[in-house]
Structure 1
Amino acid sequence: MKRNVLITGTSSGVGLEASLLFASKGYKVYASMRNLAKATALKEKIKEGDLDIEIVELDVTKIDSIKKAVETIVEKDGKIDVLVNNAGAGFAKTTEQSSEEEIRWVTDVNYHGVVFCTQAVLPYMRKQRSGQIISVTSVGGLVGQPFNELYCGAKFAVEGYMEGLASYVTDAFNINFSCVE
């Protein structure tokens, strides 16, 4: 049985390329995005390469959307072997320039989305006693940057969250955690 991977934020960039790479390595890929209207480029690549990629709707800022996508995959395949938390958004404004709505949004997309996607897959990975969770962060998650503190704060949070999980989940359940900056 093929190993499968759920990747968030696959309409372009790193997520799209990761989907193609995992599929070329023999994985069943569930490429997720919040707006399926942006799937054209990925659909073309799937057709060109006859790749085992299924596009699913998943908005990392909506818990119901996350749960629905994960449950659909598990019902179909019985497992999720790898989660790639890739969805995210840049944000360059100072704290004083940012509205409450913008502050909540940058945190929801870049941090809460990682937490809630991870929370959705962890019970299945614990049950199968294996898994890999990869979170795409940023150099901004390691070093604070001027005029970018809100984004950096969200990415620092992801780094700490992954390190915290790894400190007790890896040995107990054989679930590995990685951050890609």
Structure 2
Amino acid sequence: MSNLVSAFKKFSSKNKTALEHVLSSVVSLCYASPEMCLEFSQSKGGLIILTNFLRDEISIASQKPSCFNMATSLLVKLTNMRENIEAFRESGFVKLIAEWFSKSPCPIPQPNLESYNAALFNMTKNAENQKILLSHAIVPQLIRFANGKDKQVSSFAAKSLWNLSATDMKCREDIRKEGINDATLKQLAGIQ
């Protein structure tokens, strides 16, 4: 895995074919083995590389969507590991994703919205991350996603809102102003 991380560092987004092969190997290993996943996360600069890659790719995803899709898939896997909570904060990704979600229109390509909302939901499970996310005013965008037609995106957005509203009164008030009560939010989120 350390060799793959080193290779990951060397390839810029300009060399998409080589990057795609390396990224594919990283994703395969991380999904095949929790140990490998943790090793990638805790390797020197692993998450920072992924963060920088996604930051660069956000504006040129249409040129190589397969790379972007793999990166977002890896993002969901990594954010779902408790061991990575602090590392994601330190890498700047929590702040980065908050900035993306606060923009209107959202710059994240439509095919990747489910993955990003899933990753965001994973991040809202942590109190420190919640503070960062709320400081970037992501609630209006999450409300739009929760009210959207895509059921999977809606569900993850509603789950994020549920987590954020549990600790933030302003978030809860903003949700209610949009006509979404607790029962509706639970229904959208698929919470029993």
TM-score range, shorter chain: 0.3 to 0.5
TM-score (normalizing by structure 2): 0.34
Higher relative contact order, chain-length normalized (CA < 8 Å, sep 6+): 1
Determine which structure has the larger strand proportion and give its number. 1
TM-score (normalizing by structure 1): 0.35
Determine which structure has the larger helix proportion and give its number. 2
